[in-house]
Each structure stands twice: as C-alpha cells, then as structure tokens.
Amino acid sequence: MTMMSIKTLSGTPASLSEETVAAFGAGLRGGLSKPGDAGFEAARTVWNATIDRRPDLVVHAAGPADILAAVRFASEHRLLVAVRAGGHNIAGKAVADGGLLIDLSGMHGIRVDPAARRAWVEAGATLADVDAETQAHGLVVPVGINSTTGIAGLTLGGGFGWTTRAFGMTIDNLVSADVVTADGRLVRASAEENPDLFWALRGGGGNFGVVSAFEFELHPLGPEVTSGLIVHPFDDAGPVLRQWRDFVDTAPREVSAWAVLRKAPPLPFLPEEWHGREVVVLAACYAGPMEDGETALAPLRAIGSPIVDVIGPHPFAGWQQAFDPLLTPGARNYWKSHDFKELPDAAIDLLTDYAQRLPSPECEIFVASLGGAMSEVPEDATAYGGRGANFVMNVHTRWQSSEQDDDCIGWARAFFDETAPHAMPTIYVNFLPDDESGHLDAVYGPNYARLAEVKATWDPGNMFRVNQNIAPAEAAQAAE
C-alpha cells in the first residue's frame, strides 16, 4: 500500500494511504491536488513573494460541502490546516508548510438584493468582484483600497477604506456569516444567532472557523464619486502634511483624505521630469452627493502649490482600483504599522525624514485618516481593537530581489521603532507582519481576553492556528 506523509497539528508527520487520500478527494466537488498536480502551484502562491510555503494537500473548495469535508478529514487525522481566500495577507498566513490547505478562491459568487440593500458574498470573492456587483445598483459595502484583496481576510481583520468614515468599517456592515466550525458543523453567526461567535469574527481573524459566505449591509453611493490625487513637491512635505492633518481633523465624515510619501511612479498626468522623484500625494474621496464633493474638498485642494491636481468625477469602481498597478502580485513585501490618536509635528518630521531614505523605488509610507462612523462604534461592540485611532500608518516596503531584504526590512523596522513613542498600542491586525504575532494582546487591548474565551468555546483544540493566532483561554492559562 502506497503511503503519503502529511503534517499534523503537533508538527510531526502522519502517514496516510494513497487510497484514503483518493477516497477523500473523490468526494469533493472542487477536487484535491498534491505537489505536481494542476492547480497546486496557483493555490499555494500568495501576493507577497517573500512567502514560499508548500502544503502537502490542497482542497479546492467549490462550496460549503467541500469545506465541511475538509475540516472533518483534517479533524479525523489531526492535520495542520491553513485557509486561503484572496491570499493577500502580508504575513502569508493563507498557507503553511505541510498539512492541508483549504483554498476558497474558487468560491466567488455574489448575490445583491438592491431593495433590501443586502449583499451575500462567498469567501473567495475579491473586492473588485464585490464592487462590480454592488455598483451595478449604485450601492457599496465599505471595503479596502486594493481591488485584488480578498473579502474574507479583509473583513475578518476589520476592513477600512475610502468609505469607512462615512459608513463604518467592513465589520460594521456585516450582518451575518456562514461558518464551518472546528467540530465540522455549518452554523450561522449574527446578532441573533451565535452572537459570541459573531462578535469575535468582526476583527478576530480566521481563528474561529472557516467562513464560507458573508452577508453585508449596503449603502447608496456611485456610480460616480468626487475623488482623485493631488501631487506635491517633496520640498513642501512638512507644511503640506501639517495642513492636511489640520484639514482632516475638521472635515465632514464623507471626506477621506490620505497622505502617501513615495517616489513618483510614471503616471500619465504627471510631468515626466517628476517621475522617480520623491513626492507627497494626497489621495481623496468624497463618499456623498456629487454636488457637494467639490465644496467639501476645496480646502484640501487649496493646500500649497501642487504639481498636479486631478480631483474630479470618477467611477467609484475605477477609483477603487486606482492603486492596483502599484500593488501587483509577485514583489517582495514587508509592512510595519502604527495607530495614532493624533499626528504630532514630531511624527510628521520622522515621516519626511524616512521618506528621503526609501530603500527601493517601490517603497512608500501611507497614512490613512479615519475616525467618523468608525470611531462611533463602542470599543467592545466588536473584536476590533483600534476604534480610537484617527490615523493608521502603513510602512509599505516593497522590492524585487532577495538581495535587498536586509536593507528594506531594516529601514521599515527602524522607522517603526522611531515613531513608536507617538503611537497607540493597537495595530491593525491585517497589517501585522509575521514577526509581530506575539503582540496580539496589545493589538486587541481589553478585547483580547474575551477573544480567548470565544476561541476556547468554538475551537478548543486550536485547529485554526495558521493565522494571527489567539490561543484558547485554557491553553493560554496553562502556558502561564
């Protein structure tokens, strides 16, 4: 009898007969692959090219039944389990070395009920998929800013973007979720059904089960919005950033205005002499009536003497994809992030200092302005731990060659350390690199203890551990 080796939860290999594995695969609608099979490489390859992990088996889920079968098979044989949806997580938590990978990327169905303003979205959908279906009805769910991101990872970690100040975070618009649990059941989580699980899913990541589908509340917006970029010379960075900070402090909630410091890409509307030079980019979107957008963004456009200003009417779905060319898959990436209650002058000085020393042409520092509807949700209403942040900074280090690893990662860590005295203890969990997994108690703050209790209820054996892992409460106590 031919046997194959597959990693277990304990880290040791188990031997399964090829017949056992084949019988399991035969019962899957989406199929099963092993190294060398068609579909295996695509399933294990994720957005961040620094991640190169190889599972032993991949389940290509076509629906909830395949997820149920995979979880039950993994439970029976005590297998290490990873779950991949969009594969966009910076830490590469979508895939593990060895074990069983449940690939949800084939599940990308979406159904919109425009009258009820609800969308039902399968877990493998991308943000572009969601926008395409909801914008057909002039509706949106608040999501992120890179359209190739998966809806599952974004939602489970919190989710913020251009419409968050107006309509709340992605999790604030989650109505329910269908979840395959560690004991092999399909349950619904909502405010009425399994409310403890519903609370934990909204920010607690993939710790509590495999979500097969999400139900979202939708808001009227589009198909056009007032949005665009204002590009300033880097020599004006200090005063521009200070005036931008003061503007967003009093801007109406429909306004989102973010700052990006980077070398200018070869944008068609930017004079060629600026290509490759450091610039300050103010990116803005007005999530309200078109007739009000020009007035609301006028103070932002009055700042300094920009090189170009392309604020104007744009299709919302197109604006959601505006940054995709800078975030294509296949590059090496490392992120560091801080939450800020305020952005003092000293922090702005550090931003401009480090932006003059970018270790590669693709690196950037972006600071998102939040608050608004996001900050009005009580801190303990969902698992998300950063409601008090008015700014989220992402130090996005991006490069092509492994020879640049030390320089790029070292630059990001140094900047992160120098700005830490100005930051809050919370950090957006979707921006956490793999080397910060030990700081989850700070990430979630007072919500962490409750998350550990919910984990103990729904996944006491910590089957779902290939994530920013929250140990079950009993296990955490035993370790102490």
pLDDT value of position 201: 98
- One domain, residues 159 and 263: no
Q: Between 405-419 and 345-355, two packed helices, what is the crossing angle to 10 degrees?
A: 170
- Name the token pair of 418: 């120098």
Tell me which DSSP letter residue 101 carries: E
- One domain, residues 189 and 302: no
- One domain, residues 409 and 286: yes
Averaged in consecutive runs of 10 residues, what is the pLDDT profile of the chain (480 residues)?
91 94 97 97 97 98 98 98 97 97 98 98 98 98 97 98 98 98 98 98 98 98 98 98 97 98 95 97 98 97 98 98 95 97 98 97 97 97 96 98 98 98 96 86 94 98 97 65
- One domain, residues 170 and 311: no
- One domain, residues 385 and 413: yes
How far is CA 16 from each of CA 31, 53, 465, rounded to the nearest angstrom?
Answer: 18, 21, 22
- One domain, residues 294 and 411: yes
Of the three residues 187, 220, 253, the one that is the final residue of a domain is 220
How far is CA 392 from each of CA 2, 66, 238, 272, 451, rounded to the nearest angstrom?
Answer: 53, 37, 18, 31, 23
**Helix or strand run (H / E) with residue 332:** strand 332-340
CA distance 89 to 92: 5
Q: Residue 151 burial by CB count (10 A; 0-12/13-18/19+): exposed, middle or buried?
A: buried
Half-sphere exposure in the Cβ direction for 238 (13 Å, CA) = 6
Any domain includes 457: no
Q: For residue 69, give its domain range.
A: 3-103
Any domain includes 443: no
The angle formed by the CA atoms of residues 176, 181 and 187, to the nearest 5 degrees, is 40
- One domain, residues 238 and 371: yes
pLDDT value of position 437: 73
pLDDT value of position 476: 47
- One domain, residues 336 and 277: yes
- One domain, residues 310 and 246: yes
Query: How many domains are contained in the chain?
Result: 3
- Name the token pair of 244: 């931008």
- One domain, residues 116 and 240: no
Any domain includes 197: yes
pLDDT value of position 68: 98
- Name the token pair of 280: 């300050």
Any domain includes 191: yes
pTM score, whole prediction: 0.96
Q: Are 159 and 170 in contact (CB under 8 A)?
A: yes
| Residue 36 belongs to domain with CATH number | 3.30.43.10
Any domain includes 50: yes
| Residue 393 belongs to domain with CATH number | 3.40.462.20
- Hunting for tokens 């989710």 — which residue is that? 159
Q: Are 20 and 5 in contact (CB under 8 A)?
A: no
- One domain, residues 266 and 395: yes
pLDDT value of position 475: 56
CA distance 204 to 469: 9
pLDDT value of position 480: 42
- One domain, residues 23 and 140: no
